[in-house]
Amino acid sequence: MHVRYLREVDESTPLKVSVQLLDFDAKRMHLFEQLLHAEQGWVSATSENMTLHVDMTAKKVVPFPAAVMRALARMQEAHARLPRPEGAGRRVAMPEKRA
């Protein structure tokens, strides 16, 4: 997960959330979420997430059910027309150590 806090809001700020599917495979979804001012359109925060499908009984990552895979494929087709969000794809890493 990579979260960016870009602009402060308070409880009176009208907000909306957008979720864009960037990619998926049999066991994972790559999502980009934005918290936007509902009237002015500026971005308050973003969250980029790699979500895993976990079988809570087996306690392991397993493939999505077929119905979910079909829904993700439809979502990916619709979202393919959207521009890649600014800030998507940043790397999470420890800073390089200096000698």
Summarised one tens digit per residue, pLDDT across range 27-76 is 999 999 999 999 999 999 999 999 999 999 999 999 999 999 999 999 99
pTM of the model: 0.85
Distance CA 89, CA 99 (A): 29
| CA contacts within 13 A on the Cβ side of 74 | 6
In Å, the largest CA–CA distance within the chain is 52
Distances (CA, A) of 59 to 2, 28, 53, 54: 24, 15, 10, 7
